[in-house]
Amino acid sequence: MQHLSLKMSNITKKFPGVLALDNADFELAKGEVHALLGINGAGKSTLIKVLAGINSIDSGQIWVDGVETVIDGTRRSKELGIATVYQAPEMIPSFSGYENVFLGVESSKRGLFPFINRKALRKKANEVLEEFPIDIDLDKPISDLAPIEREGVAILRALVLENISILILDEPTSILSHREAETLFEMIAAMKGRGVSIIYITHNLEEVFIVSDRFTVFRNGRNVGTYESDRSNYSHNDVAELMLGDKMTSIYPDKSETIGDPLFSIRELSHGTDFQNVSIKFHEREIVGVFGLVGSGIDELCKTMFGDLRPDAGQITVKGKDVALKSCADAINEGIFLVPGDRHAEGYISDESVAFNVTLSKLPGISKFGFVNRKTEKNATLKLIDKLKIAPGDPYGNISKLSGGNQQKAVMAKGFYTESDIYIFQEPTVGVDVGAKALIYRAIRDLSETCATMVISSDCEEVYGIADRIVVIFEGKVVLNAKTSEVSLDDALVHGLAGGHDNV
């Protein structure tokens, strides 16, 4: 670590009521990939925003390439060669890949005639692209590109900046499937070869060891340590401990030892080309984990089991009774509840209170003669806030102001309030920090004592960690259905990636 690309020292940033960065230090060596970890609210986002020139600091010093500097705006940040690729990169869907790559450049030009040399930019983009492990057709509109290709375009946009020296990737894999994530890792290696230093923000501990040279953990606005990313020295639990600050055993609760009565089953369920002949049985005290990649049909399977899609063939049976679900409302009436995967679009109603959201699926529970009783509403909500440790615990607080993990818990609380018999959790911990994750898994386990529960996710480790029985879906078909104790994680993953053929 001879040459430092970036050094930040004693950085403090206060927001009303919150000390976001508290005398924080951070160092980035030239040409390294440096993972930045921390639970929500640890200060990582603020640190990134300081570098991007969005937040100004209250005190502290910053050196870029050994020169002390003040980043007083996004323009200054760009001049210093710092670029950020955000979680959901801003792009114009109808514009071609090239046009989107150039967007950043065009907007940074000033003057009456901000001409840019498109030909030179095109050449440069192609040059960079050649080093990438995937071939993106930059003449296609963005809307036609796969998530990984869009990520690639966003990265290209950062790289065509003339003097790029520091690239910040903010949870880049959150919208990617596993295979796509691997492509991204190769891209990162290619960028490293160009001498770009990379700050890599993630929630996924495994990625840290795959992609980074060093990692830094933030907690309560401070740097609690920077370490070499050496798998032999640190386990996931070690890192999680650093993030949380206290002793933490495995984030997954114990497995169930006994299995109760059958509650729910799907038989030979099919929906178009999405999935075919899927049969799964669900019991009390058994969490069924369904793993499949994005696009394997698991999303459609969830939606069919919840009445949002109609199956072409097959039978859904609730407590021994065959049901035909015509809508989500039907499913809820039959005692089925889906905690959807995309909580921002499908989960919660924004700018309404936590209580509004929690009670939404069972309004009769809080009303008399059709009128809402505020007291009943408040008490019911408080009970669930307490049970799921939703913070802050104000039932009339605005749900949009909660952190991702607490929003997810509020959506789960909405499901719990319906007192259903069958719960489907789709991607239950996307964008949720480790602390909230453990709590969510615990709540699912508790629920499984009396209900049939299913966790459906494209995160194999999560499915394997939480479930008693694992079902793997590959290209719309069940390729593995076994007790978790009887298969290995690797085995499950291989089935999900390639249907069980070991040519991965």
Partner 1 sequence: MSEVNKSLVAFLTFLAAILLMFTLQSEYFLTVSNFLQAFKHLSITAIAALGLCFVVAVGKADMSFHFFSCFAAMAMSYFISIGYGPVFSVLASLLLIASLGLLNGILVGRFGLPDMVTTIGTGTAVFGLAYLFSGGRYIYRNFIDSGIMQLNDGKLFGTIPIPVVVMVALYFLSWLLLHKSKYGRNFYAVGNKPLAARFSGIKVARYLAIAFVISALFASIANMVQVSAQGKGEIRAGVTLLMPAWAAVFVGISIFKKPTVYGTFIGAFMISIMQNGFTLLSVPFYYMDFVVALSLIGSIILANFDVITTWINKKRRG
Residues that bind partner 1 (CB under 8 A): 53, 73-75, 306, 308, 327-329, 331-333, 338, 340, 345-352, 356, 359-361, 363-364, 366-367, 370-372, 414, 418
The sign one gets for the Cα dihedral 131, 136, 141, 147 is negative
**Cβ 434 to partner 1, closest distance in Å?**
26
Q: Which of residues 360 and 487 has its CB atom nearest to partner 1 in the complex?
A: 360
Q: Which of residues 162 and 370 has its CB atom nearest to partner 1 in the complex?
A: 370
**Cβ 469 to partner 1, closest distance in Å?**
25
Spatial CB neighbours of 291, under 8 Å, sequence gap ≥ 6: 298, 456, 457, 458, 459, 460, 463, 464, 470, 471, 472, 473, 492, 496
**Cβ 60 to partner 1, closest distance in Å?**
21
Whether the Cβ atoms of residue 134 and residue 182 lie closer than 8 Å to each other: no
**Cβ 373 to partner 1, closest distance in Å?**
10
Whether the Cβ atoms of residue 420 and residue 330 lie closer than 8 Å to each other: no
| E strand spans, 373-476 | 422-426, 452-457, 469-474
Taking each continuous run of H as one helix and of E as one strand, the counts in the chain are: 16, 22
**Cβ 34 to partner 1, closest distance in Å?**
27
- CA distance linking residue 105 with residue 108, whole number of Å: 5
Whether the Cβ atoms of residue 337 and residue 423 lie closer than 8 Å to each other: yes
**Cβ 74 to partner 1, closest distance in Å?**
6
Burial class (CB in 10 A: 0-12, 13-18, 19+), 143: exposed
Q: Which of residues 103 and 248 has its CB atom nearest to partner 1 in the complex?
A: 103
Q: Which of residues 54 and 294 has its CB atom nearest to partner 1 in the complex?
A: 54
Which token pair is 284? 């009390």
- CA distance linking residue 282 with residue 376, whole number of Å: 33
Spatial CB neighbours of 62, under 8 Å, sequence gap ≥ 6: 6, 7, 8, 9, 11, 50, 68, 69, 70, 71
Q: Which of residues 9 and 69 has its CB atom nearest to partner 1 in the complex?
A: 69
Q: Which of residues 208 and 305 has its CB atom nearest to partner 1 in the complex?
A: 305
The partner residues of 201 in beta bridges, in order of sequence, read 36, 170
**Cβ 320 to partner 1, closest distance in Å?**
23
**Cβ 226 to partner 1, closest distance in Å?**
31
Q: Which of residues 75 and 118 has its CB atom nearest to partner 1 in the complex?
A: 75
Q: Which of residues 300 and 468 has its CB atom nearest to partner 1 in the complex?
A: 300
